[in-house]
Structure 1
Amino acid sequence: MSADLALLGRQVRHELVALRRTPLTMILSIVFPLLFFILLAAVVGNETIDSRQGVRLAQFLAPSMASFGVVMATFSFLAAGFAEARSTGVLKRQGGTPLPRWALLGGRIGAALLLGLVATSLVIGTGAALYGVQVFARTLPAVLVTLVLASVSFSAMGLAAALLLPTPQATIAVTNGIVIPIAFVSDTFMVNGTLPSWMSTLGWMFPLKHLVNLLGDAFNPYLTGTGFQLDHLAAIAAWGVGGALVAAWALRREQDRTAVRRRQARSARASDARPRRTTSPSPAALLVGQVQHSVRVLTRDATAVFFAIAFPILLVALIPTVNGGGDQRMADGQTLGAFFAATMAAYGAAVTAYVNLPTGLAEARDLGVLQRMHATPLPAWTLLAGRVVGAQVVAVVTLAGIDVVGGVMYGTPIPAALPAVLLTLLLATTCFAVVGIAVMTLVRSASSMIGVTLGVLLPLCFISDVFVVGVSYPPVLQGLSWFFPLRHATNALTSAAGATGLGGGFSWVHLGVLAAWTLAGAAVVAVRFSWVRLEPRQRRRV
């Protein structure tokens, strides 16, 4: 028994050590819930609700963010890691070792459990230290039991998702595509608002809402008792059992068929051979080819497609709905649907151009692809310009999808100043892309690149009127938001979307700031861009 526990402990430690190689997992699992808690506390305020008992608004916000941390650390993290191990053949190689299957799965579930506890502890600890969140000894046993049960249940569902979905990219896209909408209908991000009745009913069908209510009641100072609620615990356990059964069936199916499919090289027949090019391609042909390649790269990754295209469209459907409906009028007369359509277009362009594009370039640089391309007739400006134009194409596609959803759900018309909307979006996308490429030249690896870009973009989204509107921020955050280009892009797009004239809608001050950032980023790229990744010693020699 002790030997089995030691084996399981070593496997858990191995999985935790592997986390250092995946900064995206750490960001999604630990940083996101804590960051959302801090930003939402700043957005909605942390006013005192009950001065006699010292109850503040964060008392009811912390449990929901802790629940979000649990589901991200277990369901999303475990599914992504298991799918990656499956696709790279790690599971097949581990199957040929003396490591028992139960230890392999138990190590991943144990690592996910510890990660969820860390995420929860950070949220609750930060709330207690900075926001006056009260922790009650009478409900601590119930909190611990709930967290362990929820972590195991969500882990089982994550294993099932990883075994059913074909690729790691699809797994990341689908799991996050499931978690985010369910979080909205499970009162995770709700503080003062009320969901429509059909959304509230839908939320009760999934385990996250039961977890949110369990932790919320355990931290509710106006309730009594130990915090154990068997009905909610039973619902969470039922989902876990179902996930475990599906995972066991999928794992058995995986063992019965070929684990890795080999791709056979296609031999070109002489009759099908195309004539070789005898002249160098023109710059225009090279640019068109790079644009086509860039669009393929940006759209063939299911994860990139979800976060850059599907996620903004999904938020346009959700955010106005939970805030009273997309036809609600704001102070300036613009509807919520039109406003968030513009902000989500800016967000989608930023994810495509500032996160996905430079991360793809960094990966190509790390793998030596750019170095091999350097030996071809392709100039550097053609490579970079093709990437930027490809990002613009994806941003326009995202805008079209957002407009379709807004028109169908809220009756939002096509903006009267459509030329201004399109030109503003193209300039904003260019700015994000150039700045992102500049950051790529300063960051050494692709794994660090995604951590840097997401770590900058997501906080800026909250203070740049992307996810919320009409919020008064502290002067420091207010000034910081106006320094970076995202807020200028958001304001320029919302102004263009609300303009009434066909030829109007241009916010020249905001566009000027975007142009300035573009020129500054281009200057950095001109000096720093290299086809290869230079190590410190190589840099000194150069």
Structure 2
Amino acid sequence: MRRDGGILLRQVRHELVSLRRNPVTLILSIGFPLLFFILIAALVGNKTMDSRNGIRLAQFLAPAFASFGVVMATFSFLAFGFAVARSAGVLKRQNGTPLQPWALLGGRMGAALILGVTATVLVIATGVVFYDVQLFARTLPAVIVTLVLSAATFSALGLAAAVLLPTPQATLAVTNGIVIPLSFFSDIFMFSGSPPAWMSTLGWVFPLKHLVNLFGDALNPRLTGNGFQLDHLAAILAWGVAGALVAAWGLRRERDRATSTSRRPHRRTPAADATPRRTTSPSALALVGGQIGHANTVLWRDSSSVFFAVVFPVLLVAIIPTVNGGGDVVMSSGQMLGAFFAATMAVYGAAVTAYVNMPQGLAEARELGVLKRVHGSPLPTLAMLVGRVAAALVVALLTLAAIYTLAGFMYGVGIPPAWPAMLLTFVAATICFAVLGLAVMSLIRSAEAVIGVALGTLLPLCFISDVFVNGATFPPWLDHISWFFPLRHATGAMTTAASTNVVGSGLSWDHLGALLAWTLAGLIVVAWRFSWVNLESGRRRRSAKPGVAPLAQGRAAG
């Protein structure tokens, strides 16, 4: 028994150490719940709800975002990590070792549990230290039991999702496509208004709302008792058992499939015809068009990129106005709520496509040496970059069309009167985001760091740039910060041009001027720092002292 425990602990430690190679996981599972808690607290204000007992609004926000941290650290992290390990052949190699399957899965689930506890502790501790959140000793055992049970449940569900989905990209898209809508249904991002009855009822079907309710009641100073609620705990346990059964069935099916596949004889396929298709040099326009086609082909093969760039903004257009009273609600500016969020979500989709996905793909290609090989071809640098920016623009325009189609169907949003101005603004914003994404990719050499920086800057700015919320009053310093960056100018120009009561041409020259300034700054950085190869690895090789590698090889041989 002691030996098995040691094996499990070493496997948990191995999984935690491997996280250092994937900072994006740490950002998504630990950083974002804490960041969202801080931003939402700044957004709605930490006003005093009960002056006699010192109860503040953050007392009710902290449990929700602690629950969000548990789900992100267990369900999403475990599912994606398992899918990546399976795709890379890590699980297959580990199955050839004496390591038992229970230790392999237990190590991953243990690491997910530690991440979930860490995310929860960070949110609660931040609330206690900075927002006067109160803790109660009488409910602490219930909080611990709820945390452990929910972490185990969402880990089992994440494992079940991973074994059912074919690729890591599909796993990432599906898990986030489940978690984020359920966060709205489960009152995590519900800090104003009330959801429709059907949405609240649907939320109770899934375990996340039960977790939010348990944490919320345990930290609610107006309630008495020890915090144990057997009905909510039973619902979470039932989902955990179902997830474990599905995961066990899926793992057994994968093992049987791998055994049968390994016994099949491999057949050689004939070589493809190597006859060149083109006998003349392509024009610059053809080169750019080829890059557009190539980039779009790669995008549509990546289900996670399609989800975050296209599906997710469309989904938010359906959810956010609905939970805030409906898309036909008229705002103080005279604009319909559905029309406002259609414009802001279009900007968000363009930012994800141009600022996150496009530079991430280029950074990964550079890291794998693909760009270095392409650099040896007749393709000019300018044609490659222009083609990638144009490809991002094509995807952003498709997202814009999908958003306005849905908004028209759900809320009756029509084509804005100043649609030429809206289209011009949208194109300018997308190009600005793409150039800034290329600048980030030029300054940062690691593909993981590129996506970490891109997401780490985009998502916080979305909360303070009128993308996810409307009419919020921020502290003056936070409001000044938001106006410094281009996202706030893009949403301001886009919502003005998309308004039905627009005056004049609909073009906001001040916002467009700010976008142009950021575009020029990004172009300067790209011209100065862009490289086809990963310069950091080359510097490390050049900085190695002569004779060190042969000496090390000699010692190894000896």
TM-score (norm 2): 0.94
Q: Is the 8 A contact 2:11 2:103 kept in 1?
A: yes
The amino acid that maps onto 1:364 is: A
Pairwise CA distance, 1:301: 1.1
Matches within 5 A, 1:436-447: 436-447=437-448
Q: Which runs of 5+ in 1 are unaligned?
A: none
In 2, are the aligned partners of 1:417 and 1:500 still within 8 Å (CA)? no
Q: Are residues 1:310 and 2:304 paired? A: no
Q: CA deviation at 1:433?
A: 0.5
Q: Which residue of 2 aligns with 1:513?
A: 514
- 2:366 corresponds to: 365
Q: Which residue of 1 aligns with 2:153?
A: 153
Q: Provide the residue aligned with 1:29 in structure 2.
A: 29
| 1:226 counterpart SS class | coil
- Aligned mates of 1:297, 1:416 — CA distance in 2: 35
Deviations 1:285-337 (Å, cap 9, x if unpaired)?
A: 11110111111222321111111111111111111111111000111100110
Deviations 1:359-411 (A, max 9, x none): 11111111111110111110000000000000000101111111111111111
- Aligned-residue CA RMSD in angstroms? 1.9
Residue 406 of structure 2 is matched in structure 1 by 405
1:344-493 to 2 correspondence within 5 Å? 344-493=345-494
Tell me, in whole angstroms, the C-alpha distance in 2 between the residues paired with 1:269 and 1:303: 31
Give the CA deviation at 1:508: 1.1
* 1:72-221 equivalences in 2 (<5 Å): 72-221=72-221
Higher alpha-carbon deviation: 410-419 or 362-371? 410-419
User: 1:189-235: per-residue Cα shift (whole Å, max 9, x none)?
Assistant: 12342111111100000000000000000000011110000000000
Greater alpha carbon shift after TM alignment, 163-172 vs 395-404:
395-404
How far 1:505 moved relative to its partner?
Answer: 1.4
- 3-state SS of the aligned residue for 1:257? helix
Structure 1 pair 537/79, CA: closer, same or farther in 2 (3 Å)?
A: closer
- Matching residue's letter, 1:332: S
| Aligned-pair identity (%) | 69
Q: Quickly say closer, same or farther: Cα 1:115–1:269, change in 2 above 3 A.
A: closer
Residues in 1 aligned to 2:289 and 2:267: alpha-carbon distance in whole angstroms: 30
Q: In the TM superposition, what are the counterparts of 1:318-357 in structure 2 within 5 Å?
A: 318-357=319-358
> 1:7·1:103 contact (CA, 8 Å) conserved in 2?
yes
Partner AA of 2:509 in structure 1? W
Distance 1:225 1:511 in 2: 57
* Cα distance in 2 between the residues matched to 1:138 and 1:509: 56
Contact 1:416–1:502 at 8 Å: present in 2 too? no
The letter of the residue matching 2:384 is L
Change (3 A) 1:8 1:538: closer
Say which is worse superposed, 416-425 or 309-318, in terms of deviation. Answer: 416-425
The 8 Å contact of residues 420 and 503 in structure 1, kept in 2 or not, is answered as no
Counterpart CA distance in 2 for 1:278 and 1:503 is: 53
Q: What letter is aligned with 1:267? A: P
The secondary structure found in structure 1 opposite 2:53 is coil
Report the Cα offset of residue 278 of structure 1: 2.5
| Runs of 4+ more than 3 Å apart | 259-270, 273-276, 499-503, 536-541
Contact 2:334 2:501 in 1 (8 A): no
- Secondary structure of the 2:49 match is strand
AA aligned opposite 1:224: T
Deviation at 1:421, TM superposition (A): 1.5
Q: Cα offset for 1:188? A: 1.1
Q: Give the TM-score, by structure 1 length.
A: 0.97
Which residue of structure 1 lines up, in the alignment, with residue 53 of structure 2? 53
Amino acid at match of 2:445: R
8 Å CA contact 2:192, 2:324 repeated in 1: no
Whole-angstrom distance in 1 between the partners of 2:301 and 2:417: 33
Q: Tell me the number of residue pairs that the alignment of Structure 1 and Structure 2 aligns.
A: 540
Q: What CA distance in whole angstroms lies between the structure 2 residues aligned with 1:302 and 1:28?
A: 18
Q: Secondary structure at the match of 2:460?
A: helix
Instruction: Quote how far apart the aligned CAs of 1:105 are.
Output: 0.6
Structure 2 gap ranges (5+): 543-558
Once the two structures are overlaid, the 10-residue window that deviates more, 15-24 or 43-52, is: 15-24
Relative to structure 1, is the Cα distance of residues 264 and 21 closer, same or farther in structure 2, using a 3 angstrom cutoff?
farther
Q: Which residue of 1 aligns with 2:545?
A: none
- Identify which range, 234-243 or 407-416, moves more after superposition: 407-416
Answer with 143-152 or 277-286: which moved more: 277-286
